A and B are shown apart, each in its own frame.
Chain A
Amino acid sequence: MTSAEFASLYQELILEQAALGHGRGDPADFHPQSHQVNPTCGDEITLGIRLAGDRVEEVRWDGRGCTISLASASLLAGIIDGSTTLEALGLIEDFRAVMRSRGQLELDEARFGDAVALNGVPRYVARVKCAMLAWVALEHSLVQASS
């Protein structure tokens, strides 16, 4: 009853990740942190990081959002935990490029792992912001850490 495009947007893995919420919890003790809001729907996320040297030891986030934004935050935590800040910034840059590509680019499985399930998002321009919300919060946190 749903189209192939819709099925690729809402893959089982996306629905599972949204429900699982990897890294979800109280980010109060995680600094730097960033609060981001999607003004069109009022969705929000607070995401903090725990740094050990130049490594992001752990990402912790909490928020309200749609399946796509929650799944994206969960997948982000899975990828970013343990990466260096430089690696994290590179992943953010590449993730943004794919999301803005209107379906021309795809996430690389070797680097993004399960997050390739978000490859269905870019063709739905209105949903790119949902997928980006946690990544923008991570970027803002990393920028604060470096300044």
Chain B
Amino acid sequence: MTTATASLSSAELAGIRADFPILAVRVNGRPLVYLDSAATAQKPLRVLDAEREFLEHRNAAVHRGAHSLAAEATEEFEEARGVVAAFIGATSDELVWTSNATEAINLVAYALSNAAFSARYGRLALHPGDDIVVTEREHHANLIPWHQLAQRTGVTLRYLPVDDDGTLRLDLLDEVVTERTRILAFAHVSNVTGTLAPVAELVARARKVGALVVLDACQAVPQLPFDVQALDVDFAVFSGHKLYGPTGIGALYGRRELLAALPPFLTGGSMITTVTMDDAEFLPPPQRFEAGTQRVSQAIALAEAVRYVQGIGMERIAAHGQALGARLAAGLAAIDNVRVIGVGERIGLASFDLVGIHAHDVGQFLDDRGIAVRVGHHCAQPLHRRLGLTASVRASVAVHTTDDEVDQLLGAVADAADFFRGAR
């Protein structure tokens, strides 16, 4: 992250806030303070307009049909792919549309197990004796698909543990990631701690032992300049709805030669060349992995969301998020009995435990003031268990978040502590 980059001026921030219609909503009689962007981001008007405009004027199924609208829709759909691919440092043939990051990880996991049944696409098949390695702080979406893959293929799933702060135990890396490791899957930024994984060290170890790297980039892509080439990962996944785009659209990046070596996950229309009653020939990537009617308007709207953040600049969005994240973490830590989860370089996200007070109770108190946060285990039960918690409260910022909103949260957390403690 670049701290030297200028963040957003207050005038600019006011303009950005005007781009998001939902920020005018009142919740429980109070202006909405939306601090749950890590769960899903709000949408700027131009993203909503892009989707509606396409549906009103150019809607058609893509990669089939020869009528004018079909041709125009196909062109626009592929143009959107190019925009999103370039945004993450990839080329169009390396970007597969999926419903979301969860589907993208499942695509990789199922394609890898399908490889075992394919004479033609058998190179990447896993075998008993191989290891898949994840970390102890993964989102369930980057854990359960690997549980299932391990169970289907008879390989062993291992994990890199975290310490008491939730930091990855790099001292154990060489012990856990070994010559047996075929896949190393981890989150670039933890959705619980908001802190960055040491991507370079992890990738270097994977390269040394010949393992493939699958990067969960869900929290990184909306908040950091992100480049698959610079990170040197084999696969990366993210969801459009966290990047100010619609739900139902996400992406899988795969290194060209790896996508070419993988058999499909879902099969059906639009992913084939020749079909007989016995078998089918598949198209090359990315179409090989895009069976069925595609999410055209969503892809086009996601490309518009990408243009929106590019217009502001990812370096500056990162600086803005980092400044707010630091303000959040420092402000929370200064409140009595607040335990902030995670240490080190963080994006605009902080999870915390108000010791002795349940996250749901804190969340309800905040909601009463119109402040939206995430409460619960954030789909990371193993990490919470390791940290001795059942649930935590998570506040996460977006490009439209202000210092004042962070301060409102901090004040409300202090008041919640008084309210629930006073009663005991």
A contact set with B: CB distance below 8 Å: 1-3, 5-6, 9-10, 12, 15-16, 19, 40-44, 64-68, 124, 127, 130
Contacts and interface: CB of A to CB of B under 8 A. Distances in A.
Contacts of B358: 43, 65-67
Nearest to A6: B368
Contact of A66 (B29, B360, B424): B360
B391 A15 contact: no
A1 B415 contact: yes
Interface of B: 28-29, 358-361, 364-365, 368, 375-377, 381, 384, 390-391, 415, 419-420, 423-424
Nearest to A9: B364
A82 B44 CA distance: 59
Contacts of B365: 2, 6
A41 B415 contact: no
- 8 closest Cβ contacts across the A-B interface? A15-B423, A66-B358, A66-B360, A6-B368, A41-B376, A42-B390, A67-B361, A41-B391
Contacts of B384: 42
A54 B250 CA distance: 57
B423 A3 contact: no
Contacts, number: 59
A109 to B, nearest CB: 23
A44 B415 CA distance: 27
A43 B368 contact: no
A67 B423 CA distance: 11
Contact of B360 (A1, A3, A19, A68): A68
Contacts of A16: 423
Contact of A130 (B28, B29, B360): B360
Nearest to A44: B390
A5 B28 CA distance: 9
A10 B360 CA distance: 12
A41 B423 contact: no
A112 B377 CA distance: 33
Contacts of A41: 359-360, 375-377, 390-391
Please indicate which of the listed interface residues A2, A9, A19, A130 has the most CB atoms of chain B within 10 Å of its own CB.
A2
Contacts of A19: 423-424
A42 B391 CA distance: 7
B139 to A, nearest CB: 15
A19 B415 CA distance: 19
A15 to B, nearest CB: 4
A68 B29 CA distance: 23
